[in-house]
Amino acid sequence: MMKAVVLPGDESVTVRDLPTPEPGFGDVLIKVKASAVCGSDMSVLRGNQLVGERQEFPVPGHEVTGTVEKLGPGVTGISAGDRVAVYLAVGCLRCEYCLEGYVMLCSRLQTIGFDLQGGDAEYISIPAYNCMPLHSGLSFEEGAVSTDMFGTQFSIQQRLGVSGADTVLVSGLGPMGSAAVATAKANGARVFAVDPVAHRRELALHLGADEVFESVDSGITDLGLSRGRGGPDVIIECSGNGRAQESALNIVRPLGRVALVGENANLTINPSGQLLRKLTTVVGSWYFPRWQFSHIQEFLIERKVPVGEIISHRMPLDDAAKAFEMLVNRSAEKIIFQP
């Protein structure tokens, strides 16, 4: 048996004993060392499934690292004791998207920590494909936040071509926005960050933001941010707040780029004013292709990105109820379970 966090879907949190998974054909059993709590876990907590179908005993956790404990039949190229990070998306591995490494776009997508057992447990069994070698230059907890947080940010900033020529505005400074700030700084950009919460702005300054603001209305366009171009070159919107998304489309400069990272199901836009006549590029962002993880790790290590600084709390699995309570009342930023 093993200890696992189970979220029945009625906002309650339980820690219970579940059978330790037996790795099936092609699977690998991982002994979990670090599993980060993510804002998207709220969907499991509340029973509003974000991706796929509910598990029988929903165990969250999709930002996970650990060591290989046991190999299922047919697995080669991985050894017991290897340090690994977990890739969230499980796909068919035969369609065009899977073959390009964009498994999260597979029509048969399943996701670890949502519709498959997650890492808030002592063990997790995953397909060998989903075991990504963890670089010796990253600790287990740094590796966990290098998946969804820094991995997503590295990937989207590559797609947007963020460089030293850019001013980047990061909107929403939860853990994802914090990772955006540190990644944009490491990409050489001039970085501005917006959040109404003071301690989040403090952290953004610590992570390399050049200036911080309470809201996009508090004089951003007057502060030389635009270098005479009429607005930021790039906006990375991480809050998912409709008004913030609207502001991003309004204040980005002509020919600017906007990435929508924060989840939101509805937004009314003004295509003529916000997109057409400004020639705006708007991209959606979710996670990263499987092949990119080695690039992500090398970037974080070589550019000395302060990855661990976004972690605010470390807890044992037994404190899961407290951890999710802190997530709900926003008294914690990034919590890591250390089973």
User: Which listed range, 89-97, 240-248, 266-274, 329-337, lies at the site for Zn ion (CB under 5 A)?
Assistant: 89-97
Sole residue written with tokens 């550019």:
303
CB of 330 to Zn ion, least distance (A): 16
Contact status: 92 vs Zn ion (CB under 5 A): yes
Distance from C-alpha of 163 to C-alpha of 185, rounded to nearest angstrom: 9
Contact status: 98 vs Zn ion (CB under 5 A): yes
Distance from C-alpha of 161 to C-alpha of 176, rounded to nearest angstrom: 19
Contact status: 69 vs Zn ion (CB under 5 A): no
Contact status: 179 vs Zn ion (CB under 5 A): no
Distance from C-alpha of 21 to C-alpha of 72, rounded to nearest angstrom: 11
The answer to whether residues 176 and 153 touch, using CB atoms and an 8 Å cutoff, is yes
> Which helix or strand (DSSP H or E) is residue 179 part of?
helix 175-186
CB of 88 to Zn ion, least distance (A): 8
CB of 338 to Zn ion, least distance (A): 17
As beta bridge partners, residue 186 has none
Residue 104: helix, strand or coil by DSSP? helix
CB of 148 to Zn ion, least distance (A): 3
Contact status: 95 vs Zn ion (CB under 5 A): yes
Q: 86: burial class by Cβ within 10 Å (0-12, 13-18, 19+)?
A: buried
Contact status: 64 vs Zn ion (CB under 5 A): no
Please, which of residues 133-162 interact with Zn ion by CB under 5 A? 148
Please, which of residues 29-58 interact with Zn ion by CB under 5 A? 38
User: Which listed range, 96-104, 290-298, 321-329, 331-339, lies at the site for Zn ion (CB under 5 A)?
Assistant: 96-104
Distance from C-alpha of 227 to C-alpha of 233, rounded to nearest angstrom: 9
The 101-130 contact track toward Zn ion, x by CB under 5 A, reads -----x------------------------
CB of 147 to Zn ion, least distance (A): 8
CB of 107 to Zn ion, least distance (A): 7
Nearer to Zn ion, 216 or 261 (CB): 261
Distance from C-alpha of 190 to C-alpha of 11, rounded to nearest angstrom: 40
Nearer to Zn ion, 101 or 230 (CB): 101
Residue 180: helix, strand or coil by DSSP? helix
Token pair listed for 44: 């499991």
Enumerate binding residues for Zn ion (CB under 5 A).
Answer: 38, 91-92, 95, 98, 106, 148
